[in-house]
Amino acid sequence: MTDTPARDPRRDRPTGTHTPMLYDLHELQRSILAPFTAFTETGSQLFSNPYSPLAYTPLSRQFAAAYELAHRVGKDYEKPAWNLPATRIGNREVAVHEDIALAQPFCRLVHFRRETRRQDPCVLLVAPLSGHHATLLRDTVRALLPGHDVYVTDWVDARMVPAAEGTFGLDDYVRYIQTFLRHLGPDTHVISVCQPTVPVLAAISLLASAGDSCQPRSMVMMGGPIDTRKSPTQVNRLATTKPYEWFEDNLIHRVPARYPGAGRLVYPGFLQHAGFVAMNPDRHLKSHYDFYLHLLRGDDSDAEAHRRFYDEYNAVLDMPARFYLDTIRIVFQEFRLPRGTWTIDGEQVDPAAIRKTALLTIEGELDDISGEGQTHAAHQLCANLSPSMREVHTAADCGHYGIFSGRRWRQQICPKIAAFIRAHA
């Protein structure tokens, strides 16, 4: 199957046919800016490198800071490396190897294999396919590694997937999760962060309905849109105030010829990034100004923290168009999971069928992406789980990203998850 324009039954024309040159125009803009970003990078080095005589001229620090800021604003950001070569188990440092356990066209199952004989619980960490790369969960993986055998879904940038591989929708995401669970076996514990809470719950529900032996021991749902009718956020309101056609007309474009996925319909990463920034423009502007001041003052640790954050934040991927549009319709507009109207391959997604998989839901008190109660709603849907197999946690003074990274994640949330997994191993 090729990724030809999908026909929407409500419309008389293929989707994704408007402004076909937008992606090409973006690529042209990047090409035009390339000499500028190279120049600013060189300028920053000339005014900061101790071996350069310009580094000792008046105002050298100001010039170096201005050049670096301009370079980072204009440069392209590639997918960051995981950079997790080792972990500490007890008092011993243990090497960690990044292996590909299973490869699918749109996702690689990455195994962080530790050089240890410990038989720790097997954890499938399901990363979101929502703009950023799976490496956004680096801090999540780092904290889990000492006590768990960790596998992560590493989603492939859709522009790098040949169109001959076909389309990829939300139902395909569910099938991928089932494939990974069957590959890992029945003693697996699943942790889903944000967007994948919905397809993960669907995948486990279908396994339970079929009596599949590879139902996981436990599932941890973190900051996800299980029922977006509860405490709608700005993200939810955008999906409900705009018609479905608006999203396919304004956000879906074709991959240019220079990429392996040429011709594929995608929600481009550069449009997603613009949306991320538009949600909090003042915060990002202040952050970049602070970065400039850190460089002027020589606050190297603060400047490096800024670089690390934006190296990850600015690295985005293209999402398959069908997956994105399915998510808008099924999750945010029609609420099929909580309403019990979602079917996949003719089978109803029924979380009430889950009886063997323990459930822990985690929300952040200050989460402005998945509102209060949206994740905890999974308990209402999993109606036949016994009380001993349920747990609810709301992290105080914690925003969306604080659920899975940062101090609160490491000191409060990760230990709670580890205890829950071991209680149901």
Each residue of 52-67: pLDDT tens digit? 999 899 999 999 999 9
**Residue 231 belongs to some domain of the structure:** yes
pLDDT surpasses 60 at 202:
yes
Contacts of 143 (CB under 8 A, 6+ apart): 409, 410, 414
Distances (CA, A) of 338 to 10, 134, 232: 24, 27, 15
Higher local confidence (pLDDT), 424 or 28: 424
In this model, does residue 15 exceed pLDDT 70? no
- Please, which pLDDT band fits residue 274 given cuts at 50, 70 and 90? confident
Domain assignment present for 254: no
The answer to the question of residue 100 being in a domain is yes
Rounded Cα distance, 137 and 94, in Å: 20
Domain harbouring 415, CATH code: 3.40.50.1820
Structural domain span for residue 219? 86-244+319-423
| Mean of the per-residue pLDDT values of the chain | 91
Task: State the alpha helices, DSSP H only, in 75-156.
Answer: 138-144
Select the more confidently predicted residue: 19 or 128.
128
Q: How many domains does the chain have?
A: 1
Distance CA 125, CA 184 (A): 12
- Span 332-359, average pLDDT: 97
User: Residue 43: is its pLDDT beyond 60?
Assistant: yes
The two structure tokens encoding residue 33 = 């800016």
In a domain, 290, yes or no: no
Evaluate whether residue 20 is within a structural domain: no
pLDDT digits (tens, 9 = 90+) for 238-252: 888 999 999 999 999
Q: Is 51 within the bounds of a domain?
A: no
User: Looking at the domain assignment, is residue 29 inside a domain?
Assistant: no
**Does any domain span residue 1?**
no
For 367-386, what is the mean pLDDT?
Answer: 95
Residues 6+ apart with CB under 8 A from 67: 40, 41, 43, 44, 47
- Confidence (pTM): 0.89
Q: Long-range contact list for 134-139, CB < 8 A, 24+ apart?
A: 134/110, 135/79, 135/80, 135/81, 135/82, 135/312, 135/315, 136/312, 136/405, 137/193, 137/404, 137/405, 138/80, 138/82, 138/83, 138/84, 138/312, 138/405, 139/404, 139/405, 139/406, 139/409, 139/410
Examine the pLDDT at 13 and tell me if it is beyond 50: no
Query: Per-residue pLDDT for 235 more than 90?
Result: no
